[in-house]
A = this chain, B = another copy of it.
Amino acid sequence: MSRIITISREFGSGGRELGKRLADSLGVDYYDREIITAIAEQTGLGENYVEQILESHAWKKIPLNFRHSFANIDRLEPTQAGFLIEQKRVIEKIAKTGKDCVIVGRNADILLSDEKPFNMFVFAGMDARIRRCMDRAETGEHMSLEKMEQNILRIDKSRAEIREALSGSRWGEVGTYHLMINTTDWKIKELTPVVAEFVTRWFEKK
């Protein structure tokens, strides 16, 4: 069975950077934005539009048994339902390649639970998250600290709602993950080799 590593993360925690560096370190494929791109190509729509629909609050309407049945899919707004199905298909297709990989976000841990992935949750203190967001903001992009914090909380809330709608389990809840890391005091570059070691040992035991 291939080694699949999924990363759920708080916004601004550095989870995406950790995922990318981890994939590089382990020499495996990396999927994040690539999933959006695949859906956009498949539907002929713009990436930003696809992303916006997928992350909108209207996801709350998704039935709890989504993963297994899609039985109530017709209760959803058609575009959302379509993107949801397409996203599931893309992620399952990634798993079917049989190649080791890291997948960031998209609730891949739930969608691929039959594949026994290693599931991580990455979080950090608010100050550290604001700092990280400020550091990576593009030149000319000005946002006040207060606005940045509101933005972080809004995105977290949306991710949590999507998670709960899809799985019935709380986002960031102990028990659904194999390893949960607070990145507050870490440079992601320095954290990566330690996490790579942890993950490698975990898969060796399987």
Contact = CB atoms under 8 A, between A and B. Distances in A.
A174 interface: yes
Interface in A168-206: 172, 174-175, 177-182, 184-187, 190, 194, 197-198, 201-202, 205-206
Contacts of A205: 185-187, 190
Contacts of A185: 178, 202, 205-206
Nearest to A195: B198
A59 interface: no
Instruction: Give the oligomeric copy count.
Output: 2
B190 A194 contact: no
Nearest to A193: B201
A172 B175 CA distance: 10
Interface residues of A, number: 24
A82 interface: no
A35 to B, nearest CB: 25
Contacts of A123: 174-175
A125 B177 CA distance: 10
A121 interface: yes
Interface of A: 121, 123, 125, 172, 174-175, 177-182, 184-187, 190, 194, 197-198, 201-202, 205-206
10 contacts: A125-B175, A174-B180, A177-B182, A178-B184, A178-B185, A179-B179, A179-B182, A180-B181, A190-B201, A194-B201
